[in-house]
Amino acid sequence: MPKVWSRRRFLALSATVATLAAACSKEEPGAVARDGSVTVKHAFGETKVPGPPQRVVSAGLTGQDDLLAVGIVPIAVTNWFGDQPFGVWPWAQPKLGQAQPEVLDLGGGIQIDRIAALKPDLIVATNAGVDQETYDKLTEIAPTIPQSGQDAFFEPWKKQAAAISQAVFKYDEMAAIVKGIEDKFSAVADNNPQFSGKNALLLEGTLSGDAAHVLNPDWRSEFLTQMGFTIPDTGGSVITRDRMESVLGQADVLIWTTEGDDQQGALLADPVITKLEQRNVFTGKDLAGAIAFSSPLSLPVVADQLPPMLTRALG
């Protein structure tokens, strides 16, 4: 005969299931706890953010883009390169509006005293090279979100976007933005079948130490494979002069992240590069910056501007 369930046993089981469900939901990225907080896991443990922050400092090199993408205007940003107003590049300026955040600098390390003076209620320190000692000091000021793994600088852009959006209670909004970017690059592949199977290399805009440098880490060039290209094996990120002809010669197109005519001219004057019958693409400052940032706001610029350049280069 079927076992008869008592009311007490049924309620006990229901309570157990509810507890397990709650525990599982708390593990979901972006889940808001009963007390209204969110918890973000990272390299030094986890950070509890008690509620949607109002005064956010971006202490890393690219965090301002992640914040602005979901409508959070930081009270301070950290300048990287390019001498942009308030450290914000053209693709993100509309999101900044008339705000004038304080501009921090990482040249001598994270400026802890300046950050403390701003009285933030959240510090975003992904892409900031945080170590344990610095993390401990920052957490005395406000809840702090450092890198999520071992990459103190430039961990994959999707990881940064996920961590930052969790901390500002915008995880679902960011997830939709990320999917939109992936769909955008997939559409480029669909609209440009001539990219399929072609070899492409993404390179720094200048030769350094008499060598060409593949733009690393690998996730930086992920958009190329999303567009249908193949990235040939270069045997490392540094291509010394004795290897340049053979390694660069594998590519159907070389994408140089040049920031100006002077860098483009120097490359075209190089005897090895001149000898190669490769099709070169030179980005210009803003596109080079968009590729370097690889953020939720800059990658759509790459998807819009780079494919026509590649089409022209490939003939």
Asked if the domains at 31-169 and 192-314 fall in one CATH topology, the answer is yes
The mean per-residue pLDDT over the stretch 257-272 comes to: 95
Q: What is the mean pLDDT of the chain?
A: 91
C-alpha radius of gyration, the chain, whole number: 23
Q: Is 77 exposed, middle or buried (0-12, 13-18, 19+ CB in 10 A)?
A: buried
Q: Please check whether residue 303 is in contact with residue 185, taking contact to mean a CB–CB distance below 8 angstroms.
A: yes
Q: Name the residue ranges covered by the structural domains of the chain.
A: 31-169, 192-314
Distance of CA 248 to the CA centre of its chain: 27
Tell the CATH topology of 31-169. Rossmann fold (3.40.50)
Q: Is the pTM of this model over 0.75?
A: yes
CATH 3.40.50.1980 fits 192-314, yes or no: yes
State pLDDT tens for residues 82-117: 999 999 999 999 999 999 999 999 999 999 999 999
pLDDT at 123 over 90: yes
With b for 16 or more beta-carbon neighbours within 10 A and e for fewer, the 33-51 pattern comes to: eeeeebbbebbbeebebee
111 within 8 A of 104, measured Cβ to Cβ: yes
